[in-house]
Amino acid sequence: MGYGKNGKTKTNALPRTGAASKVGKGRDKPKGGHRSAETINRLRLYNSKPIRNKKGTVVGGNFMMKDRAGDREITGETGRIAPDRRWFGNTRVVDPKQLDAFRQEMTEKVADPYSVVLKRKKVPMGLLREAAEREAPPSQALLEQEPFDQAFGSKSRRKRVKLDQLMLARTDQDPNEKEQESRTKGGRAEVMPNHDGDNESDAYSKLLKVATISHETYETRNNREGIVPWGRDSNLEQTEGENVDWRHEKKDDLFLKGQSKRIWGELWKVVDCSDVVLHVIDARNVPGTRCTMIERHIRDNAPHKHLVFVLNKIDLVPNWVAKRWMVS
């Protein structure tokens, strides 16, 4: 109890106010002119600054105290989770055999027009759809496998082009077209039809004629005047092209794991935050499992860090191999 400047007594009770900075204020304003509780809390967050001592340590503040969270005191009730066995138990676990039986029954019920599935949200219909997608033939339309929105636009999920559709053999080809075979004539691809068994001799004679023309064309170009001896093509074996140094085949995703920029960024974070770096090397392929870039980075930019090499799988190589790698 005290006296103010005007001689009035002071009380400990908070005065009733209609200030816009008070939560649960009782003052009425025109519609749309009052602040909401969320706005008031946000403004209080802006105005509440940490209190520091002379050393700069935070010793106070509405949102900086160790015993308060969100401007509310942390107590035994708010800081703990009530113990319950349900937190440690599995939910909606099903056996594989029961799942197969469920899929079979649901497939029959869904196909039956005289039956209705009640409580459809509680039934794991996603398991049925996933199984149907896995069993679907790979020759489905491209838009059914990957919609346009998932491949292009702001909602796209695809990072690189999928070549599954390009690598599939055509199953909808006309049977008459399948009987035709591609042959080579004069350095250009030409489609030659198959002949019946009675005309096999004519077919072989035509193939021989095409091969002879191609050989003569090559000899004429290779032996023409003006070509030096070391410029002639004396090696007729195929050294490049399909089935030699490249093939129409999709690269396995297994070899792309661990090569993304995100993983490399996480690796550099670990290296920068560590004082001791353990480099695990496979004894069966030491040059292939060493990361010389990390070693060079530590040697040039972080000489204070300790790099320890761990030689793994030494029980799968002879003793003399492990000893030589340990010495080197």
Residue 265: its H or E element: helix 261-273
Task: Tell me if 13 is assigned to some domain.
Answer: no
Answer yes or no: are the C-beta atoms of 50 and 58 closer than 8 Å: yes
pLDDT at 90 over 50: yes
Shared domain for 127 and 160, answered yes or no, is: no
Question: CA neighbours within 13 Å on the CB side: how many for 264?
Answer: 7
pLDDT at 16 over 80: no
pLDDT at 287 over 50: yes
Can you give the residue range of the structural domain that contains 197?
179-221
Q: What is the pLDDT of residue 282?
A: 92
Task: Give the model's confidence band at 182: pLDDT under 50 very low, under 70 low, under 90 confident, else very high.
Answer: very low
Residue pLDDT, tens place only, 144-179: 667 778 778 888 877 776 655 555 444 444 555 555
If you average pLDDT over every residue of the chain, what do you get?
72
Shared domain for 147 and 124, answered yes or no, is: no
Shared domain for 126 and 67, answered yes or no, is: no
The C-alpha atoms of residue 118 and residue 108 are separated, in whole angstroms, by: 15
Report which of residues 118 and 318 the model is more confident about: 318
> Minimal CA–CA distance to 207: which of 194, 197, 221?
194
Shared domain for 121 and 110, answered yes or no, is: yes
Task: Tell me if 100 is assigned to some domain.
Answer: yes
pLDDT at 93 over 50: yes
Q: Is 120 helix (H, G, I), strand (E, B) or coil?
A: helix
Task: Tell me if 126 is assigned to some domain.
Answer: yes
Task: Tell me if 242 is assigned to some domain.
Answer: no
Q: What is the pLDDT of residue 190?
A: 47
> Minimal CA–CA distance to 64: which of 47, 79, 51?
51
Q: Which two tokens stand for residue 64?
A: 């900086």
Residue pLDDT, tens place only, 207-264: 888 888 887 877 776 676 666 555 555 555 555 565 556 666 666 777 777 778 888 8
Rounded average pLDDT over 312-323: 88
Q: Which two tokens stand for residue 282?
A: 């496979």
Answer yes or no: are the C-beta atoms of 318 and 283 closer than 8 Å: no
Q: Domains in the chain: how many in total?
A: 5
Q: Which two tokens stand for residue 150?
A: 């998932």
Per DSSP, the residues of 85-96 read GGGGS-SS---H
